[in-house]
Chains A and B, each alone.
Chain A
């Protein structure tokens, strides 16, 4: 539904009516959840290719994949449904005046170590993130908070420096995960290896590079609609397997029943496999070429336009994603509320690309350096671009680099065009666009200093009115496309791959797992 406008985030609504019963009934139903058939219990073994460095949500550094694991052990005050709206979790209701949010907390909840969950625990956790001494990787997410106070044993009031349309989203994910104060008091050094929250599972054992075992939290507070205890599984085992071929073999032999991600060349081989379901849940891997505007030929907008017109994105998608891809104008997918199909990059036109280079006064072979990551299918993408660019008059040199080396080259702007991938959607368009396109963005590979773009990005964060925000982000995308700062390539599908007997895997907005309602049927 590209052009539909989903309901506005109910931020300023007083959620007084959100009674605890409703909360219990709707909780965690963010994904596909049917709960009528199948036996509960059992052990789910999942293959996971990106082992977290720490399970302390305040220090987690992966952009989102750690949350698959953190969701097992931690709850947040509220949760975000896949349509972007919020529902109660550890807070049963909240009021939001724009600069002050008051949370009413759930009663009778206990952390895994028996510590009662209360307002002081929430205050301690939120202050811990903001405290510079914590060195939290989530500090910026809560930067708009001026003060957090326990205004009652079960009431927390958060006062803001200025309205922040993103704050509830942030509080519904890692920055809002509440850890046990007793466990934190024992020192944060070990906490990352022994997380203690209120979540549906408790940590049994974490053996680095092998597996992590989580067991059912027998006193978990949430119930199913029928009043049955959650979680449904007895145990979750995450096996840390990094080789895609081995992950596929494990899925085929039943060694794992769920995998985090598989590249197309692997999951396509499972298409006819019995007992394996491959379902597109809207998660995409968006390949892009970022053009360095600080030096070299791509300082000239005409040369960037020539690059954009030289690239035939469909053939790149066909070769690199086995045909399982979408073409979209930017990071937005057609399901996103900030998608606009009126936006269009320059069409593939090698003749015009050549003419544009001529017009720019660049004749003969124009040497450029393309950097790409040494991991399939990135080198394929780079080689295809190389041949397409050569055809219009560029002389691209492709450098295939190890990831850290590539990032260092990109951060130092030591490249002409950089090929990489971003997992989309993210929780909010600001989290997708700001890091890459704001002048002070940490991943501003292109080296942009575009005050118009900065102003548009700021506008996107200035209000929670979704119509205004949509306009801002459509303008952001238009600005990027008009200037050809980046050339967005294909969006490879990254489906949910699981055993057919596994039901009820819930998903966050950005496709990370919630397993409290998961169960293994017969």
Chain B
């Protein structure tokens, strides 16, 4: 197990390196001029040239990349071109909001998705099943920006039960923090909940056809015990895989959702970084997200072993 873990962790390095290189090149291919956001639209070309030199933009690309990589190895992600703040500091400031948002969204997805999936499977081909599937399909196909606007309209403007946007740190006011996290978390979580529901339903239906379920039924075990203990335990592994795969989708969903609800997380950081061509921030932030997604996938692999004793590493 330890050996496996160490091996997997080492495998992260080449992946992160390749991602960094591709990202570095892609960002430099983007049209636009970073000096525009820093000096404004009306600065002279001369001032821009001086600043570009300061930022090291006149050096060849490979040199810029090796410089960045060298700093990274020393634990330095560089400084924001725009605000001069350390990228590491900026990311650590923003990470909490995104992680909190992601965790709440996941909890929502699991708490809604799995029971809904069980219900749909147990009541397959009934009106409940059709209704749940229709809602799931809707949640899957509604774009996040649309869903966000819809939730604001219903819960903030019509029912007036939740604030339309904003963020308060958990440490400052936990209740207000959660009130403001509900709508963005539901926006992001709805897609994952729908995916989870469909996966749970399909996996359970498959499990219901297995011999051990027939045996359990023949032994006179209660329906609840059969579904909850025997079938679900076996059906849950693919569900966990799907949820883990959704973490990547979740991170991309935060980009739009955080912007709409003005949550100061990694999503807004990346979006604003791209719009202002603050490339060190984008580079650092995306790298962190990539590492996070890889780590979560590793965690999912470890959870399989816990859920299914037949899996060993």
Contacts and interface: CB of A to CB of B under 8 A. Distances in A.
B166 A403 contact: no
Given A137-B40, A404-B36, A404-B277, A243 B47 contact: no
Given A442-B42, A442-B45, A443-B42, A242 B32 contact: no
B248 interface: no
A53 B261 CA distance: 20
A210 B262 contact: yes
Nearest to B47: A135
A253 B40 contact: no
B264 A63 contact: no
B164 A250 contact: yes
A239 interface: yes
A241 B258 CA distance: 11
A255 to B, nearest CB: 6
A255 B42 contact: no
Interface stretch (A405-413, A454-462, A492-500): A405-413
Interface string A69-104: 000000000000000000000000000000000000
Contacts of B165: 241, 243, 246, 249-250, 255
Interface stretch (B149-157, B237-245, B283-291, B297-305): B149-157
Contact residue range for chain B? 35 or more
Contact of B275 (A252, A404, A443): A404
B157 A408 contact: no
B45 A241 contact: no
B83 A255 contact: no
Contacts of B156: 249, 253
Given A53-B37, A137-B40, A189-B84, A253 B157 contact: yes
Contacts of B40: 60-63, 137
A54 B156 CA distance: 32
Contacts of B42: 63, 435, 442-443
Contacts of A404: 30-33, 36-37, 275-277
B41 A239 contact: no
Interface in A233-248: 239-243, 245-246
A249 B157 contact: yes
Interface string B79-121: 0001110000010010000000000000000000000000000
Interface in A206-258: 207-211, 239-243, 245-246, 249-250, 252-253, 255
A193 B80 CA distance: 14
Contacts of B262: 209-210, 239-243, 246
Contacts of A411: 33
A116 interface: no
A135 B153 CA distance: 46
A349 interface: no
B128 interface: no
B164 A407 contact: no
Given A403-B275, A408-B31, A408-B33, A245 B41 contact: no
Interface in A465-520: none
A408 B277 CA distance: 12
Given A137-B40, A404-B32, A442-B41, 17 more contacts: A53-B83, A54-B83, A192-B83, A208-B90, A210-B262, A211-B166, A241-B165, A242-B262, A249-B152, A249-B156, A249-B165, A255-B163, A255-B165, A402-B275, A408-B32, A435-B41, A443-B41
Interface of A: 53-54, 60-63, 135, 137, 140, 189, 192-193, 207-211, 239-243, 245-246, 249-250, 252-253, 255, 402-405, 407-409, 411, 435, 442-443
25 contacts: A53-B38, A61-B37, A61-B40, A61-B43, A63-B40, A135-B50, A192-B83, A208-B90, A210-B167, A210-B264, A239-B262, A240-B262, A241-B166, A242-B262, A243-B260, A246-B164, A249-B164, A249-B165, A253-B163, A404-B275, A405-B31, A408-B32, A442-B42, A442-B45, A443-B41
